[in-house]
């Protein structure tokens, strides 16, 4: 379970829009090597739900040599023949379709909550891998029937039309397959041909596939994310796919460390051979998602890139992490782990963290005595933040905010200044003042008048006492204007450059709606 918990956290952290679940089938004689069995999907769903990662969607990636051919041979042999190529899978035989649908795709769809289905044009997406004669026979003239069968079953069992994306090899193996038999085509990648990304445009859908590195049977994609690579291959692939307007891009493969293709957090067993820092690939992926600068980002203490810890070893013994950081399992909201046994001068650091123009840090911690911490951005310290004792209860507290010229990537360090607080995570959120979280004031009940409202060129603010500080925020929380008035009780703001819409005026910590027409 902790493995899944960590995977859910990394998926959430990277901001992936969707994941394509490797589907390797679940025949009656169970063939479960621990991966690709659709029965595991609910465990991942539960882990994502517990994490609060509700927006991540699921597509299916049908690994047909395993899910069709391998499942049949395993089943036919009573669980003794582990081969996907001998004998080959006859795709012309409709009696074999149960390995394609009943023991495979149907079970996957049964386990994916409707709201998590990843769709293109409102159709749940299935990617298919390679249809070659290495694993299959009687291919020519018979592959379209399989796709049609899958469409019929999706319709009759679940009431939807699927979006079927096949690998280009399907057309090589079956010259009778027509483009209008499929929805779109992907080109996979090839370590043999030194091709780390492909972008296929068929039926007016650009489909990208990217791999961050790959090693198989002595064939190594070069550069293979070596120390000098700095994620170059992953960025190159994403530039040529996402950056070239791909409708969707599939990255192989989140956990595929065995073939050096993994996206997950790693220091490569302390060698930093394929990673400059543990979160590097997750950060690169996030920068190409639909939301590279999310409004809120939960940053786990135990998942820092680098740390300084005064005591040798991990006193808590938890979490798959090398080094001296002291980590224990956590029962706080969102589960996970936390850093304990902290001491003054110890620190945790994250590289290339996406910060907003107006950024605020909220720390999740517990302690039994007062302590303090400070945040540093690119070696610039924010003021030290006091952490009152929480009597051992997990609590959230503001520990600092800053304004930057623009959204950007920065090194963030959290240093223990005094005491020994337990640190779970921090939230990097937009730096809106407390006033915006309050229930909006009814202007009629306050002594502040704002008019005209709606406004177009200017707005007057009249108060029966000194106005003090005024901030103007966009609806997404971006700070547009901040002024401090010493004695004025009546002021006029020029709003002629604001686009029509809803804004918030914070006047001495009370919020007021301002509508620009």
CA distance 88 to 77: 14
**155 contributes a contact to Ca ion by CB under 5 A:** no
Output 158 or 394, the one with its CB closest to Ca ion.
394
Quick note: the x/- pattern for Ca ion over 241-280, rule CB under 5 A, is: ----------------------------------------
Task: Indicate whether 309 belongs to the interface with Ca ion (CB under 5 A).
Answer: yes
Contact range with Ca ion by CB under 5 A, out of 248-256, 423-431, 439-447, 454-462: 423-431
First to last CA, the chain: 53
Applying CB under 5 A, which of residues 12, 229, 300, 305 lies at the interface with Ca ion? 300
100 burial (CB, 10 Å; 0-12 / 13-18 / 19+) is buried
DSSP 8-state secondary structure symbol assigned to residue 281: H
CA pair distance 262, 211, nearest whole angstrom: 9
Q: Report the residue number, 324 or 357, with the smaller CB distance to Ca ion.
A: 324
CB of 307 to Ca ion, least distance (A): 9
Give the nearer residue to Ca ion in terms of CB position, either 5 or 63. 5
DSSP string, 181-198: GSSEEE---BTTTTB-EE
Q: What is the CA radius of gyration of the chain?
A: 27
Q: Does 425 bind Ca ion (CB under 5 A)?
A: yes
In angstroms, give the least distance from the CB of 509 to Ca ion. Answer: 32
Name the one range near Ca ion by CB under 5 A: 12-20, 265-273, 306-314, 431-439.
306-314
Q: Which of residues 333-372 bind Ca ion (CB under 5 A)?
A: 336, 338
For residue 101, report the phi and psi dihedrals to the nearest 5 degrees.
-105, -70
Do 312 and 324 touch, CB atoms closer than 8 A? yes
| Minimum CB–partner distance for residue 308 and Ca ion (Å) | 10
Closer residue to Ca ion in complex, CB, 84/342: 342
| 8-state DSSP, 402 | E
SS (H, E, C) 370-385: CEEEEEEECCEECCCE
Q: Which is nearer to Ca ion, 336 or 400 (CB)?
A: 336
Minimal distance, residue 336 CB to Ca ion, in Å: 4
Question: Nearer to Ca ion by C-beta: 307 or 512?
Answer: 307
Please say which residue, 425 or 504, places its beta carbon nearer to Ca ion: 425
Q: Judged by CB under 5 A, how many residues of this single chain contact Ca ion?
A: 9
Report the distance separating Cα 147 and Cα 353, nearest Å. 43
Length in residues, the chain:
517
Q: How far is the CB of 325 from Ca ion (least distance, A)?
A: 6
- Cβ–Cβ contacts within 10 Å for residue 447, how many? 10
Pick from 44, 55, 123: nearest CA to 291? 55
Select from 279, 225, 212 the least CA-distant residue to 252: 212
What residues between 311 and 330 interact with Ca ion by CB under 5 A?
311, 324, 326
Shortest distance in whole angstroms from residue 48 CB to Ca ion: 16
Binding to Ca ion by residue 174, rule CB under 5 A? no
The contact set with Ca ion (CB under 5 A) reads: 300, 309, 311, 324, 326, 336, 338, 424-425
């Amino acid at each position: 379970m902790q493995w899944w918990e960590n995977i859910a956290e990394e998926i959430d952290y990277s901001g992936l829009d969707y994941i394509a679940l490797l589907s390797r089938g679940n025949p009656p004689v169970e063939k479960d090597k621990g991966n690709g069995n659709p029965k595991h999907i609910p465990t991942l769903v539960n882990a994502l739900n517990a994490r609060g990662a509700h927006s991540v969607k699921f597509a299916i990636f049908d690994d047909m040599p395993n899910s069709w051919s391998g499942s049949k041979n395993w089943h036919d042999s009573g669980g003794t023949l582990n081969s996907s190529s001998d004998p080959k899978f006859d795709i012309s035989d409709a009696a074999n379709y149960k390995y394609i649908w009943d023991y495979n795709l149907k079970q996957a769809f049964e386990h994916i909550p409707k709201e998590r289905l990843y769709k293109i044009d409102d159709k749940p997406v299935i990617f298919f891998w390679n249809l070659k004669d290495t694993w299959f026979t009687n291919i020519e003239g018979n592959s379209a029937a399989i796709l049609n069968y899958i469409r019929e079953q999706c319709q009759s069992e679940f009431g939807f039309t699927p979006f079927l994306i096949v690998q280009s090899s399907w057309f090589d193996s079956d010259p009778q397959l027509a483009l209008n038999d499929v929805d779109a085509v992907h080109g996979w990648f090839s370590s043999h041909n030194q091709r780390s990304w492909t972008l296929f445009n068929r039926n007016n859908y650009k489909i990208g596939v990217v791999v961050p590195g790959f090693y198989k049977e002595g064939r190594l994609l070069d550069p293979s994310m070596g120390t000098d690579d700095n994620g170059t291959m992953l960025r190159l692939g994403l530039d040529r796919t996402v950056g070239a307007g791909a409708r969707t891009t599939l990255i192989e493969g989140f956990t595929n460390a065995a073939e050096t293709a993994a996206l997950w957090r790693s220091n490569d067993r302390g060698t930093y051979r394929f990673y400059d820092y543990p979160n590097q690939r997750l950060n690169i992926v996030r920068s190409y998602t639909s939301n590279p600068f999310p409004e809120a980002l939960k940053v786990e203490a135990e998942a820092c890139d680098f740390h300084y810890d005064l005591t040798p070893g991990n006193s808590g013994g938890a979490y798959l992490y090398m080094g001296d950081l002291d980590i224990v399992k956590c029962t706080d909201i969102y589960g996970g782990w936390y850093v304990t046994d902290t001491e003054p001068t110890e620190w945790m650091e994250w590289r290339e963290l996406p910060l907003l123009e107006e950024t605020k840090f909220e720390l999740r911690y517990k302690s039994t005595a007062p302590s303090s911490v400070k945040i540093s951005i690119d070696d610039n310290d924010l003021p030290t933040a006091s952490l009152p004792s929480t009597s051992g209860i997990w609590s959230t507290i503001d520990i600092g905010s800053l304004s930057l010229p623009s959204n950007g990537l920065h090194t963030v360090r959290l240093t223990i200044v005094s005491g020994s607080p337990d640190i779970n995570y921090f939230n990097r959120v937009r730096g809106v003042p407390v006033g915006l979280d309050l229930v909006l004031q009814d202007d009629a009940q306050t002594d502040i008048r704002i008019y005209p409202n709606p406004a177009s060129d200017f707005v007057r603010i009249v108060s029966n006492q000194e106005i003090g500080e005024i901030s103007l925020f966009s609806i997404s929380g971006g700070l547009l204007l901040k002024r401090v008035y010493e004695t004025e009780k009546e002021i006029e703001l020029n709003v002629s450059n604001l686009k029509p819409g809803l804004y918030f005026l914070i006047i001495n910590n009370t919020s007021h709606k301002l509508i620009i027409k």
